[in-house]
Structure 1
Amino acid sequence: MGGANSRETMNPPSNSTFFNPQELKDLSSAYGSGGLEALASLIQDKVNHLNSTKLHIAVTGESGAGKSSFINAMRGLRGCDEGAAKIGNTETTMEPTQYKHPSFPEVSFWDLPGVGTVNFPAKEYPTKMKFEQYDFFIVISRNRFTEIDANLVKEVKKLGKMFYFVRTQIDNDIRSYLFEAVNADREAELAKIRNYCIRSLEKTGIAEPTVFLISSIEINEFDFAELQKTIANNLDDIKKDVFLKSLPSTTLNIVKEKEVQLKKRIWMLATIAGTLGAVPVPGVAIACDIGLLITAIIDFRKYLGLDDASIQRLANATGKPVEVLTAEVKTPLVGEINKDLVKRMLLGGTAVGIAGVETAFKFIPVIGSIFGAGTSFGMTYSLLNNALDQLVQNTQEVVKAAFDNA
C-alpha cells in the first residue's frame, strides 16, 4: 500500500466528471473518516459501474427507411457480416429486434418495426414497442418526415427521452443530383434537402428541429460524425463513456474523444492500485498491482478499436486489406499483455519517467499530495498514461490508413 497517514480534508480531482457533485462530497467524507481504503472502495464502485452500465438505443421510422443499414454502420458492420441487422426492401422487422455491439454487448441497438404499417398502426406503436425501456431514439426517414414521425417524437418527449431526426441515403441523392444537374452546387443541394426536412417537421408541430443528413455507407461524409458527437454530448457522463467506446474509430476526432474518456479512468485506477492489492514485483522497488495494469491496457486497446476483431471490421468497412491497417500498428501493446511485458515496462521507460508524474499532479493535486510520484500510485499513473499515449498514436495511424489520411 502507498499513501499518507493524515486524514486531511480531501477535494477529489475536478477533472473526474464520472462523479456528480454529491459523489465528490462523498469521496471527501470517505477519505476524512476512513482514509485511503474507504476512498479506494468508492472509486472501485464507480469503475464497476462504468463497466456494467447498459445502453439501449431505439431506431425507428417508416418501413424501408434504412434502419437496419444505420444500425450496422453504427456497429462497424456490413450487411453480410455475422450479427448484422437484416436488410431488405420489404418489412423485414416484425418485432423489436435487439442487436448487441460485437465488442461491447452492453450496448444494444433495437430495430423497431416500421411504424404505420398494417401490422403496427401508429396509435398502438409506442405501447407495443415499450418506448420507456430505451435511452434515446433515432427517427429515420428516407425522404421526408411525416406526421407519423412527429407523433412518435411527441410520445418520446412525454417520457423525457432524447430523439434525433436522421435523413438517410443522402449519398444516393447527391450522386443523382450531380449526374443530372448543370452547374451543380453540392452544398446548396444539401441545404435544400435539409430545409425540406425541417419544414416537413415544423408543419407537424415540431419546433426548431435539427436534421442529420447521413449515408450509412459513406460514414465519414455528411453528418454522420456530427450525429455521433451530438448524441455523446447529450448523454450523462457514464453513458457517454459507454456510447463512445462502442463507436468504431473512424475519425481522428472520435479517437481524441476516446482518449479523453480513458484519461478520466487512469487516476481512479491508480488510486485503487495505490491503496489496495499492490504486491512486490521482483526487480522493481515499488509494489504494483500487475493484474490491474494488464486488464487496463487490454481494456484501453479494445476501447480504441486496436484489437484484432475491430481492425478486421474496419478493413471490411473500408475495403482496405487488413494487412495495410495492421502495418500501421507499431506498439507491442497490441500483442499478448502478460506479467513479463508489464514488468519490462515498469523497469524501462515508464519507471524512468516517474519524475514526470509530478507535473501531472497539478491536475489532481490532493491525490498527488497523498501519494507522490514514488509510490504504486505514481508508477501506475505513469505507466497507464504512457500506454494510452502509445495506443492512441497507433490508432490514429490506422484511421489515417483506412481513410487515406482524411
Structure 2
Amino acid sequence: MRPSKSLTGLKQSFNAELCTSSSGSIRRWLLVNKEMPAQSESETPSLFTMEELRKLKSNFETGGVENVKSLIEKKVTEMDNTELNVALTGISGSGKSTLINTMRGLRSMDKGAAKVGTKETTMEPTGYPHPSLPNVCYWDLPGIGSLQLPAGKYLSKMNFKKYDFFIIVSDCRFRESDAKLAKEIKRLGKNFYFVRSKIDNDLRSMKLDLGKINEEKELDTIRNDCVKGLERAGIPYPKVFLISSFEEDQFDFSLLQKVLEFDLSNVKKHIFVLALPNTNMENVRKKNEMLKKYIWMLATLSGALGAVPVPGFSLACDIGIMVGAIVHFRKCMGLDEASLQRLANRSGKPVEKLNAVVQPLLLGEITPNVILRVGWGAAVVTVSAMELALDFIPVIGSIFGAGSSFVMTYKILSDALKDLTENAKRVVKVAFESA
C-alpha cells in the first residue's frame, strides 16, 4: 500500500526528525565560557533515536501509516510512563529545599512545597513530584554529614541508581565532604552538577561589610574556589553554577536549566522541558517546540484509526485523542487553575490579573462540543461528515479515513497549541512585568 498524498506532512515530519536528532556534543566546550547557544526551531532535539527514526521512515514508505502505528504507540506510551528523578544533596541548610521548590515553580507556602529550614528533618530521601507532571520528581537527600557515613556507603544507602543525575548544593566555602561526594558520584558513572547557592546573600553581605565591591571579580573568586576544589578531587572541567533561588534571572540559574536540558536525551529531555516553570518567554517557546513534536505522533495514531472501516469509529477516537491532548497541553503551558494560582504566588500578582489575559475557550472542561465550537469547527464538521459517509465504502473509505483523520487531528491540535502558547506568553508578561 502506498501512502496517500494527504499524508505528505507525516513524511516531512520524519525527515525533519532525522535532521535534528544528532548529538549536540560538539557544543559542550561552550560550557567553559558559561554560555549555551539558543536552540532554533530546527535544533529542537528529537524524541527518537536514530535507529527508531530510520525504522519509522522505512515502515512508512513501504506500508503507509498502518505500518508505523505500533511504533508510534510504543513511543507515546514511553513518553507517558518515563520517569525523571533528580537528586539534590548537600549539608542541612544549604538551600536544597528552596531550590527544589524553585525548579518546580513553587514557593514555600504552596501545597506540596518542600519544607524550608535549617534543621535536618529526615534521614531518608524525600521525593517531591512536579505539581503538574508527577513523573518528574526532585529528591531531597539528607546531607552526607548528617548520617556520618563514608561517601560510598552514603550513596548506596540513598539508592543512587534510581536518579538520573545529582545536584550537589553548597552555600559557603568548598568543603572536603563536597569533594568526596563528587568523586564518588563520578566513580559510579553518574552526572553531577555543583551548585553554589545563596549568591545573592553573599554579595549583599560583602556590600554591607566593604561598601562598594567588584561583583564580577567576587563571583569569579567564588567560582574558582569551587572549580579548584573539584579539580583536586579528580573532576576535570567541573560544571559549577552560582545561583540564587530567588533571583532566577540573575547569575547562573538559567544556565543551570539549559545545561541540565542539554545533557538529557530524547524523552527525558522532553519531560524536563515541559516541567520547566513559566518564568520567562524562552521556557514557553521551548515547551511549544517540544509539544509540536508530540502532535504529529497523535495525528498518525488518529490516521491509523481512521483507516478502520467501522462507521463513526474514527471520529470518536479523533475527538478522544484531541480532548486528552489539549488538557495535557494546557497543564504543560501552566494554564490550568492550579498552575495559574502557583504562578500568582510566585510573582506576587493577583491571580485575577493573570486570568484576565487568558482567553476562556480552552480554560474550562474540554469536551467534544468545545472542540466543535472553536474557530476551526466548520472544517472539522465538513471533514467528519465526509469521513462518516465514506466509512460505508470499502477501500476508498479506509484510504480517505487515514488521510482526513491525520489532517484533522494535526490541524486542530496545532491550532490549539498555538492558542495556548499565546495565552501562556500573555500570562508570563503580566506576571513578571515591572510593577
TM-score range, shorter chain: 0.7 to 0.9
Q: Which residue of 2 aligns with 1:81?
A: 110
Q: Tell me the secondary structure at the aligned position of residue 375 of structure 1.
A: helix
Q: Partners in 1 of 2:74 and 2:347 — Cα distance?
A: 39
Report 1 or 2 for greater relative contact order, CA contacts < 8 Å, sequence distance ≥ 6: 1
Report how far residue 53 of structure 1 moved: 0.5
Contact 2:303/2:402 (8 A) holds in 1: no
**Aligned pairs (5 A) from 1:310-389:** 310-345=339-374, 347-348=376-377, 375-389=404-418
Contact 1:67/1:140 (8 A) holds in 2: yes
**Aligned pairs (5 A) from 1:74-113:** 74-113=103-142
The answer to which of 137-146 and 286-295 deviates more is 286-295
Q: Partners in 1 of 2:318 and 2:139 — Cα distance?
A: 39
Q: Tell me the secondary structure at the aligned position of residue 212 of structure 1.
A: strand
Q: Which residue of 2 aligns with 1:214?
A: 243
Q: Which residue of 1 aligns with 2:164?
A: 135
Q: Tell me the secondary structure at the aligned position of residue 172 of structure 2.
A: coil
The answer on 1:403 being equivalent to 2:404 is no
The answer to which of 107-116 and 21-30 deviates more is 21-30
Q: Partners in 1 of 2:375 and 2:323 — Cα distance?
A: 12
Contact 2:151/2:184 (8 A) holds in 1: no
Report the AA paired with residue 229 of structure 2. Answer: S
Report how far residue 34 of structure 1 moved: 4.9
Report the AA paired with residue 74 of structure 1. Answer: M
Contact 1:330/1:394 (8 A) holds in 2: yes
Aligned pair count reads 384
Q: Partners in 1 of 2:58 and 2:259 — Cα distance?
A: 35
Q: Partners in 2 of 1:315 and 1:39 — Cα distance?
A: 43
Q: Partners in 1 of 2:304 and 2:255 — Cα distance?
A: 41
Report how far residue 28 of structure 1 moved: 3.4
Q: Which residue of 2 aligns with 1:357?
A: none
Change over 3 Å in CA distance of 1:45–1:212 after alignment to 2: same
Render the CA deviation track for 1:165-191: whole Å, top value 9, x for unaligned.
Answer: 101111211222333444333333322
Change over 3 Å in CA distance of 1:191–1:386 after alignment to 2: same
Q: Which residue of 1 aligns with 2:196?
A: 167
The answer on 1:236 being equivalent to 2:262 is no
Report the AA paired with residue 58 of structure 1. Answer: A
Render the CA deviation track for 1:104-146: whole Å, top value 9, x for unaligned.
Answer: 1111111111012354443521211111111100011011332
Report how far residue 383 of structure 1 moved: 1.5
Contact 1:280/1:287 (8 A) holds in 2: no
Q: Which residue of 2 aligns with 1:363?
A: none
Render the CA deviation track for 1:320-351: whole Å, top value 9, x for unaligned.
Answer: 11111112212521222111121123744876
Q: Which residue of 1 aligns with 2:16?
A: 15
Report the AA paired with residue 178 of structure 2. Answer: D
TM-score, normalised by the number of residues in structure 1? 0.85
Report the AA paired with residue 74 of structure 2. Answer: D
Q: Which residue of 2 aligns with 1:365?
A: none
Render the CA deviation track for 1:202-255: whole Å, top value 9, x for unaligned.
Answer: 233322222111112222322112111110111011001111122211111111
Change over 3 Å in CA distance of 1:351–1:277 after alignment to 2: closer
Percent sequence identity over aligned pairs: 51
Q: Which residue of 2 aligns with 1:393?
A: 422
Report the AA paired with residue 381 of structure 1. Answer: Y
Contact 2:223/2:240 (8 A) holds in 1: yes
Render the CA deviation track for 1:291-348: whole Å, top value 9, x for unaligned.
Answer: 1111111111111111111111111112111111112212521222111121123744
Q: Partners in 2 of 1:257 and 1:347 — Cα distance?
A: 25
Contact 1:66/1:142 (8 A) holds in 2: yes
TM-score, normalised by the number of residues in structure 2? 0.80
Q: Tell me the secondary structure at the aligned position of residue 85 of structure 2.
A: strand
Higher helix content, 1 or 2: 2
Report how far residue 75 of structure 1 moved: 1.2
Change over 3 Å in CA distance of 1:328–1:25 after alignment to 2: same
The answer on 1:184 being equivalent to 2:185 is no
**Aligned pairs (5 A) from 1:248-263:** 248-263=277-292
Contact 1:288/1:379 (8 A) holds in 2: no
Render the CA deviation track for 1:340-394: whole Å, top value 9, x for unaligned.
Answer: 1211237448769x9xxxxxxxxxxxxxxx9899722122212111111111111
Q: Partners in 2 of 1:68 and 1:50 — Cα distance?
A: 27
The answer to which of 45-54 and 209-218 deviates more is 209-218
Contact 1:214/1:222 (8 A) holds in 2: yes
Contact 1:146/1:204 (8 A) holds in 2: no
Q: Which residue of 2 aligns with 1:199?
A: 228
Structure 1 runs of 4+ with >4 Å offset = 277-281, 346-352, 370-374
Contact 1:350/1:386 (8 A) holds in 2: no
Q: Partners in 2 of 1:5 and 1:172 — Cα distance?
A: 61
Report the AA paired with residue 4 of structure 1. Answer: S
